[in-house]
């Protein structure tokens, strides 16, 4: 572990922090295994932008001492996993506080480590990583902050209790009294109970049993909730027995009164919705879809972004520093990439591509050709993402590759260790790749998709491919990283791409069809008749790369996103007066996508 943080605690004032951001995972540094994928990357990017704009934010997560996992793939694509242990004590300063949490019928001590996210002008957003591996704890409780998304549902609810309730108590112990608590996904919803229970909350430490609707409403005024998936299985639920055993009868009664028992189970999304004054989905369409899923609550939309300085390659950063230096403090100036010669953007991307091909060579021994059109597809493996759609018709794909002078495809992605279906999908991609016989078509699956590989891929490929089944991609952010680096997307119109796609300008839309075969045919058609001819036209391709950076990079970043949260969710009254506090939210008109999507 090369990362070591020793900022003096005086570099920030914890008591002045008015926004507390709670997330089960946060990608803080490439070396720290405290995230699994998109949700954690978004959380980290949000905090990096908060530090950049000087937002008075503080964040809470868990230490995840054994990480998520490192992925290993056999020659057949069989995934196995190993732990990624790290030592918080050797890496981060201690927060210096210990709190007690009553759960599971016993007392659990919780301590915390502090990671400082430092912004472009030196502003610090401190992140507290809660840790139960503490002397005096029951041996089982000591493992509670080991594995991100590990263990069974009992372990998970214990973790969510530590995050939500432990997090509120820890902030209190540190002298922090936030006005706004942001639940990044339902995992953090128990923070509402923490607020009810804590003596600095609206109840002032009175017993929970006496909580009134007015107390509930007072907590609601302090909370904001972002939901992240329209896939029903993505919304955490716990059986009533587990709820009773872990949280005890008093808190369980509150959960029931709050309407968070759904089909007999404690549902973290309903808990978060009841206790939040502002709720949102993560792209315009996802807000609409979530509104259909939860008709009794007003669901807004705030479209996700990525942290520009984190995901732009070094060569692009140098180019932008020279041409539009203001981009670092105000990402809106990325729009001025229209003032840079397209050839310079193309030449910078070329450096990224060569670096990617070098990494591929080092990792796999496969030498890709820098002149050949190279596609990238990397994401968490889930059925709706349809990783093998590209291989729907291998003969057709091979003949396109032969006709256009070759085609190279890079894959990456992890399946959750307990997801046998997902692991099967990786093997399916391997099997499809092994059936390719044409020397013009080359496919490589790269092991262990993580922050660094994600950056290298999105910076270096020519086209970023995404094939989710509508409407299950809430947002997606990897295509935004690609756009920043001048890489167009070829994607179904789902998630952010509904907003980001200008056909033939920033990329291409795979048409929305009734069958998978028809969608694959649309994909092949765009590849053969749209992408390949433009790729052969150096000037035209360079202009497209410029559009990606200038049009999409200047908008799909977390600075713009965070400013929308500040303006619409955290402090609306400061911006538009009391009248704006609970506006009738109107879903904004979206591009027509042919069919109404149907949820499972």
Ligand X SMILES: *Cc1c(COP(=O)(O)O)cnc(C)c1O
Q: Name which position in 150, 476, 486, 507 contacts ligand X (CB under 6 A).
A: 476
Backbone angles phi, psi at 204, to 5 degrees: 60, 25
Q: What share of the chain is helix, strand, coil (3-state, %, to 5)?
A: 45, 20, 40
- Site stretch for ligand X (CB under 6 A), options 34-42, 400-408, 486-494, 566-574: 34-42
Q: Which position's Cβ is nearest ligand X?
A: 454
Nearest CB to ligand X, comparing residues 128 and 449: 449
Q: For residue 401, what are the CA distances in angstroms to 69, 289, 360, 442?
A: 35, 37, 20, 9
CA distance 532 to 102: 61
# chain residues binding ligand X, by CB under 6 A: 13
Residues 6 or more apart in contact with residue 592 via CB below 8 angstroms: none
CA distance 404 to 401: 5
Beta strands in 154-215 (DSSP E): 180-184
- Site stretch for ligand X (CB under 6 A), options 3-11, 242-250, 368-376, 449-457: 449-457
Residues 6 or more apart in contact with residue 105 via CB below 8 angstroms: 245, 248
Q: How far is the CB of 124 from ligand X (least distance, A)?
A: 24
- Give the footprint of ligand X on residues 546-565 (CB under 6 A): none
Q: How far is the CB of 499 from ligand X (least distance, A)?
A: 14
CA distance 341 to 522: 33
Q: How far is the CB of 306 from ligand X (least distance, A)?
A: 7
- Site stretch for ligand X (CB under 6 A), options 67-75, 113-121, 396-404, 448-456: 448-456
- Contact string (CB under 6 A) for ligand X, positions 35-64, x = contact: --xx--x-----------------------
User: Does 478 participate in binding ligand X (rule CB under 6 A)?
Assistant: yes
Cα pseudo-dihedral 448, 451, 455, 461, rounded to 10: 30
CA distance 157 to 260: 15
Q: Can you say whether the dihedral through the CA atoms of 46, 301, 165, 171 is positive or negative? A: positive
Q: Name which position in 44, 202, 454, 486 contacts ligand X (CB under 6 A).
A: 454
Token duo for residue 145: 């902050």
Taking alpha carbons only, the member of 280, 306, 331 closest to residue 588 is: 280
- Site stretch for ligand X (CB under 6 A), options 135-143, 150-158, 244-252, 446-454: 446-454
Nearest CB to ligand X, comparing residues 267 and 304: 304
Taking alpha carbons only, the member of 143, 144, 134 closest to residue 165 is: 144
User: Does 149 participate in binding ligand X (rule CB under 6 A)?
Assistant: no
Q: How far is the CB of 465 from ligand X (least distance, A)?
A: 11
Taking alpha carbons only, the member of 268, 87, 278 closest to residue 161 is: 268
CA distance 305 to 282: 9
Nearest CB to ligand X, comparing residues 290 and 477: 477
Q: Name which position in 227, 280, 310, 477 contacts ligand X (CB under 6 A).
A: 477
Residues 6 or more apart in contact with residue 420 via CB below 8 angstroms: none
Nearest CB to ligand X, comparing residues 353 and 379: 379
Nearest CB to ligand X, comparing residues 274 and 481: 481
- Site stretch for ligand X (CB under 6 A), options 12-20, 79-87, 147-155, 471-479: 471-479
Q: Name which position in 116, 160, 185, 450 contacts ligand X (CB under 6 A).
A: 450
User: Does 379 participate in binding ligand X (rule CB under 6 A)?
Assistant: yes
Nearest CB to ligand X, comparing residues 28 and 174: 28
Q: How far is the CB of 166 from ligand X (least distance, A)?
A: 27
Token duo for residue 205: 């430490």
Residues that bind ligand X (CB under 6 A): 37-38, 41, 379, 449-451, 454, 476-479, 481
């Amino acid at each position: 572990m090369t990362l070591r943080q020793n900022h003096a605690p005086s570099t920030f004032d914890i008591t002045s922090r008015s926004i507390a951001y709670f997330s089960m995972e946060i990608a803080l540094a490439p070396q720290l295994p405290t995230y699994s994928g998109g949700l954690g990357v978004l959380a980290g990017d949000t905090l990096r932008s908060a530090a950049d704009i000087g937002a008075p934010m503080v964040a809470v997560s868990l230490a995840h001492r054994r990480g998520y996992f490192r992925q290993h793939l056999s020659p057949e694509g069989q995934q196995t996993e190993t732990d990624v242990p790290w030592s918080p004590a050797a890496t981060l300063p201690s927060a210096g506080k210990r709190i007690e949490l009553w759960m599971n019928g016993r007392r659990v001590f919780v301590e915390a480590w502090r990671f400082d996210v430092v912004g472009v002008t030196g502003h610090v957003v401190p992140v507290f990583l809660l840790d139960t591996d503490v002397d005096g704890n029951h041996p089982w409780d000591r493992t509670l902050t080991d594995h991100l998304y590990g263990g069974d549902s009992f372990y998970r609810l214990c973790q969510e209790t530590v995050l939500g309730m432990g997090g509120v108590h820890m902030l209190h112990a540190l002298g922090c009294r936030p006005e706004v608590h942001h639940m990044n996904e339902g995992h953090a919803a128990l923070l509402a109970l923490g607020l009810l229970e804590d003596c600095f909350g609206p109840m002032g430490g009175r017993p929970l049993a006496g909580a009134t609707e007015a107390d509930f409403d007072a907590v609601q005024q302090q909370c904001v909730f972002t939901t992240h998936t329209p896939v029903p299985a993505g919304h955490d639920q716990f059986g009533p027995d587990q709820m009773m055993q872990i949280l005890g009868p008093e808190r369980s009664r509150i959960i029931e009164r709050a309407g968070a028992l759904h089909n007999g189970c404690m549902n973290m999304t309903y808990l978060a919705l009841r206790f939040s004054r502002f709720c949102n989905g993560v792209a315009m369409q996802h807000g609409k879809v979530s509104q259909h899923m939860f008709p009794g609550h007003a669901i807004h939309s705030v479209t996700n972004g990525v942290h520009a300085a984190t995901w732009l390659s070094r060569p692009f950063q140098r180019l932008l520093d020279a041409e539009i230096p203001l981009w670092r403090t105000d990402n809106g100036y990325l729009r001025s990439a229209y003032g840079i010669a397209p050839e310079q953007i193309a030449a910078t991307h070329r450096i990224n591509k060569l670096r990617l091909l070098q990494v591929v060579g080092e990792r796999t021994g496969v030498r890709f050709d820098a002149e050949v059109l190279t596609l990238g597809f990397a994401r968490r493996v889930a059925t709706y993402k349809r990783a093998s759609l590209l291989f729907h018709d291998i003969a057709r794909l091979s003949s396109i590759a032969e006709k256009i002078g070759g085609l190279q495809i890079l894959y990456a992605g992890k399946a959750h260790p307990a997801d046998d279906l997902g692991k099967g999908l990786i093997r399916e991609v391997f099997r499809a790749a092994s059936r390719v016989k044409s020397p013009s078509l080359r496919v490589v699956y790269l092991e262990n998709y993580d922050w660094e590989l994600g950056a290298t891929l999105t910076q270096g490929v020519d086209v970023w491919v995404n094939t989710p089944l509508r409407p299950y991609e809430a947002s997606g952010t990897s295509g935004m990283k690609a756009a920043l680096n001048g890489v167009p997307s070829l994607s179904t119109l789902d998630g952010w791409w509904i907003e980001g796609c200008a056909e033939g300008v920033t990329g291409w839309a795979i048409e929305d069809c009734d069958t998978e075969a028809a969608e694959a045919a649309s994909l092949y058609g765009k590849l053969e008749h749209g992408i390949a001819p433009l790729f052969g036209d150096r000037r035209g391709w360079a202009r497209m790369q410029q559009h990606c950076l200038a049009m999409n990079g200047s908008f799909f970043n977390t600075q713009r996103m965070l400013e929308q949260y500040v303006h619409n969710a955290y402090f609306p009254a400061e911006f538009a007066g009391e009248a704006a506090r609970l506006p009738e939210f109107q879903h904004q008109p979206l591009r027509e996508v042919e069919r109404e999507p149907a949820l499972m």
